[in-house]
């Protein structure tokens, strides 16, 4: 069945529908990863977005129950150059189209994704609509009226506090859209975990006798998550704080810094990051459309920058026991160069206890 993409600037792309046929609106972004489409589909940081894969062949290794970052597909829609109908991998349990259909996600193939990606790079991130219907004035009107939801974090965060026992340090996680890969890596480090809904009060969090608190990754504009910013402000100086991706931005705002929307963001598994303290470069997995301005206050030390555009990729405040990175250290999907980050943070908590 023919399908169409209508961009906010009026550009139309034609392709073929697969997955669940429906009309969907969302913010269109692109991801440059060569593999890991199932992790991308299920990453809560993509909630509300329509993802274009720049790698031309998608679906060739199928899907399985293990390679997921949450309990469902989070993207609004999916766009690929060529969809492989025949999956071939020892872990595959079903093909991509059936998986998308079961989850109610609309996808389009046979699209010139190279041209579409260049359009997004030149024009910047835009809203769009995916549909099998004729592009008429009604569709155009709906697209013009569409806006990205401001309550997106509340849609992806857990609803009840979750406890995971371990023999090591007790880490609290503010779930702003937590990926399973982060939870898994902290469990592998032996940590006990208490995962809190995004709007949990700081008094409730401190009542759990935690050794540190991590603000997780998540979707949307960090300035919309005012409750989490306020919680971070009240926790500063009382307990070691860590942040990943959206959590990195939340902590920067809580410290009096600022964030801004990037033209087309960083999304993929091949982003080079320089650690300014060691002068070593890591290849990292990233997924963010907002960044922290480099004019952060309160004696913040910028620890990491992006090699491609010099944007802030990490900061710390040793006196306040705050460490944060913009990229994803859990390698889900992508390179594992940065996997040492979470271990380093846990070690810092242990060193603090022995000081």
d(CA 231, CA 250): 10
| Residue 128, token pair as written in the block | 């769009």
Q: What does DSSP assign to residue 235? A: H
Q: Among 247, 194, 187, 181, which Cα is nearest to 217's?
A: 247
Residue 245: active-site member: yes
Q: Specify whether the CB–CB gap between 275 and 305 falls below 8 A.
A: no
| Residue 116, token pair as written in the block | 């579409």
d(CA 34, CA 55): 5
Q: Give the Cβ contact number of residue 49 at 10 Å.
A: 26
Peptide bond connecting 35 to the previous residue in cis, omega within 30 degrees of 0: no
**Which residue among 248, 266, 271, 328 is the active-site one?**
328
Q: Specify whether the CB–CB gap between 238 and 216 falls below 8 A.
A: no
d(CA 255, CA 335): 30
Residue 328: active-site member: yes
**Which residue among 69, 183, 313, 330 is the active-site one?**
330
**Sign of the C-alpha dihedral, residues 277, 298, 262, 38?**
positive
Q: Specify whether the CB–CB gap between 175 and 70 falls below 8 A.
A: no
Residue 304: active-site member: no
**Which residue among 245, 248, 271, 288 is the active-site one?**
245
SS3 content of the chain, % helix, strand, coil (to 5): 25, 35, 40
d(CA 231, CA 242): 13
Catalytic residues: 245, 328, 330
């Amino acid at each position: 069945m023919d399908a169409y993409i209508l961009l906010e600037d009026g550009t139309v792309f034609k392709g073929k529908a697969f997955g669940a046929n429906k009309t969907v609106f969302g913010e269109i972004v692109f991801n440059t990863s060569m593999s890991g489409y199932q992790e991308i589909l299920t990453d809560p940081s993509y909630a509300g977005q329509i993802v274009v894969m720049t790698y031309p062949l998608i679906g060739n290794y199928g899907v399985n129950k293990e390679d997921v970052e949450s309990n469902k597909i989070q993207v609004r829609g999916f766009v690929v150059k060529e969809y492989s109908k025949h999956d071939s991998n020892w872990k595959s349990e079903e093909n991509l189209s059936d998986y998308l259909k079961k989850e109610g996600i609309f996808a389009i193939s046979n699209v010139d994704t190279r041209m579409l990606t260049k359009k997004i790079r030149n024009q910047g991130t835009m809203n769009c609509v995916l549909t099998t219907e004729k592009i008429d004035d009604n569709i155009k009107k709906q697209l013009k009226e569409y806006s990205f939801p401001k309550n997106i974090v509340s849609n992806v965060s857990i609803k009840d506090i979750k406890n995971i026992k371990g023999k090591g340090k007790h880490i609290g996680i503010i779930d702003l859209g937590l990926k399973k890969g982060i939870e898994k890596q902290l469990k592998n480090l032996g940590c006990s975990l208490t995962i809190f809904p995004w709007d949990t009060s700081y008094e409730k969090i401190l009542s759990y006798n935690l050794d540190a608190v991590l603000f997780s990754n998540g979707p949307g504009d960090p300035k919309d998550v005012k409750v989490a910013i306020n919680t971070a402000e009240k926790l500063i100086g009382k307990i070691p704080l860590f942040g990943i991706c959206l959590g990195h931005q939340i902590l920067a705002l809580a410290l009096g810094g600022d964030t801004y929307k990037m033209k087309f963001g960083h999304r993929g598994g091949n982003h080079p990051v320089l650690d300014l303290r060691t002068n070593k470069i890591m290849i990292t997995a990233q997924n963010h459309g907002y960044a922290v301005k480099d004019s952060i206050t309160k004696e913040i030390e910028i620890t990491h920058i992006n090699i491609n555009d010099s944007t802030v990729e990490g900061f710390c405040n040793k006196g306040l026991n705050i460490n944060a990175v913009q990229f994803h250290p859990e390698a889900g999907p992508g390179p594992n160069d940065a996997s040492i980050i979470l271990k380093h943070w846990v070690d810092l908590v242990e060193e603090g206890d022995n000081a």
